Structure 1
Amino acid sequence: MGKSGVLLVNLGSPDSTKVKDVRRYLDEFLMDERVIDIPYWKRFLLIKGIILNVRPKKSAAAYKKIWWKEGSPLVVISERFAEKVRKKVDVPVALGMRYGSMSIKKGLEELKKQHVNNVFLVPLYPHYAMSSYETVVEKAKSLLESDFNEMKMDVLEPFYNHPEYIDAMCEHLEKELKGFDYDQLLFSYHGIPERHIFKGDPTGKHCKLDGSCCENSSVAHKTCYRHQCFETTKEMVKKLGLKEGTYRNSFQSRLLKDPWLRPYTDQELEAMPQQGIKKLAVITPAFVSDCLETLEEIAMEGKEEFLDAGGEDFKHVSCLNEDDVWVEVMAKWIKEWYS
């Protein structure tokens, strides 16, 4: 039967806040054809010729604002989470990142040293997107074919609507918002280009981004990031018993000038105070670990945008991170796999 083991995979991080390390990280990240899905020569010219000459310095400054003394928050949190999960299960658990020096390959090598040949790949992304979940899975498959062909692999499917994930999210949210009286709860999801939605539609005709396609049952929903985000909100709203009008969805982290999923978080933050929303809570369900996009873009920049526009109070809800309930859920899923 062989020996089983788990590989948890998160996004990744630069090794430090130095510009050269941030540039190296951005180079790998942005040159991924599933992140910027344009022909290679165009991507090469855009990334190497323009973005990497401008963005690393700005990104390095942003990372400095959120960097912990132990290192990158995303990496430190992921390591703590992995260690907690490790103590709950009876199989080896390794951690890898899609980008950066803590690679998927290093994670697989760690499992190989422990004589693992049945791998449970766990992309730490609740929702399916070609630029997140899919690129992790395809990278791992490629490595198994090239360097670890003695290994077999199973993959945890996106868990955006799994009852135990929803329960963990709701319990965590209620703890975070205890004592905070908000006018509105904003579900801010990481954005993706609209064209990624159409590319991910296996029917070639279901996804229309018209407000109705996400509601009509289709095989396309299995790979539709937009639908899955809305389902997470819907399930959490149902579980929490939230009233219509007390919550909304938005999408953050736009890149380049292509149309991305709407509404845009920054525009919502600036508009809400004029709509009578003065006390705002923001949750970011697309991330299970706090990172640059949550700690800097939402908790710092987003707060500033909201308050400058006339808001009075702002609460950033932390990600699940190493929450004990979330650890128990992941351990349960792993045990169900190897039992």
Structure 2
Amino acid sequence: MNLFTTKRRRGATVLGGAILGLGLVASLATPALACDTKVKADSKCGTDGGWTASFKVANDFNPDATVSSVKVDGVEAQGGVGEIVVGTTAKANYGNWLTGTLDEKASTDTVKLTVELTWERKGKHGRTTVVTDSSDATANKPETECTTTPTTAPTTTPTTAPTTAPTTAPTTEPTTVPTTATPTTEPSTPDVPLPTPSESTEPVLPDEIFAVDCDSMTIGLDNTKGEIEYKLHFTPSSGAAKDLDIKAGEKKSVTFDAEEGFTVKLSIVAVFKGVTSEPETATIPYETPADCGGEGGGGSLPVTGAAAGGIAGGAAVLLAVGAGLFFMARRRKVRFTA
């Protein structure tokens, strides 16, 4: 057995394995170490007192790269910044610089742009290696205040406009407008008399129904020829209250048991052509007829003398209330138009 030959073969095997392993590590590590994204930033004053941030992005690796992410102050910019847009190609070895600008307000001090590039490289055996790298740059607000536009605008505009406008417009308009038709015609319109309502015919009022005897009192309306609907509510001093609804063409009355001191409070509402009046009230006292002093007592006796005056007074109250309600309803229906 040749030991020298065996030792040489073992050493060659170990050396070859080491070289192969180092080559594999180098082939895998090289894309990650060599790929680099370059981002530069600059700034200058704007035209409105603010400032403008300028950015440049390039690829310093050999294969072309694609922009895969654009963020402004850590937030993904959907529309990108100028030419720096997701999907744009950054050519290899600084083949092109992608540029973009951002307009900032005077209150903003800094703005940071972060850009990620992606490389794809195919190996000898058809395997595709994808490598990404991101870098950022911050643009700072210019040290000098950007006051170019504010210093010029106030000196030009206010000096010309105020001097011309007040001298022309106020001198012409006030002299013509007050002397024309507007103030002189409108005050004369209230002097024109308004038309007054008139009615050639008036509805027929009902006849009263009012009668008393020695132990009762009857109250009602004969509205057979009338045109107004009357709603009567009776509240007697003793006994239950009663209601009468007397429409046009009807005759109704109600009778109460009565004695000396008995009274009936009557409330009347008139309804005429869809208009309902406010209620009117009257209190009608019972007066015992003079002929009720006979021994027979009770029954119906002729009403004469002083009793007739009481009856007439109650009837007059009833009819006056009904007439007043009618005229009130008629006035509420009238509308004045100019």
Q: TM-score normalised to the size of structure 1? A: 0.18
Larger helix percent: 1
Work out which of the two has the higher radius of gyration on C-alpha atoms and give 1 or 2.
Answer: 2
Larger strand percent: 2
Greater relative contact order (Cα 8 A, min sep 6): structure 1 or 2?
Answer: 1
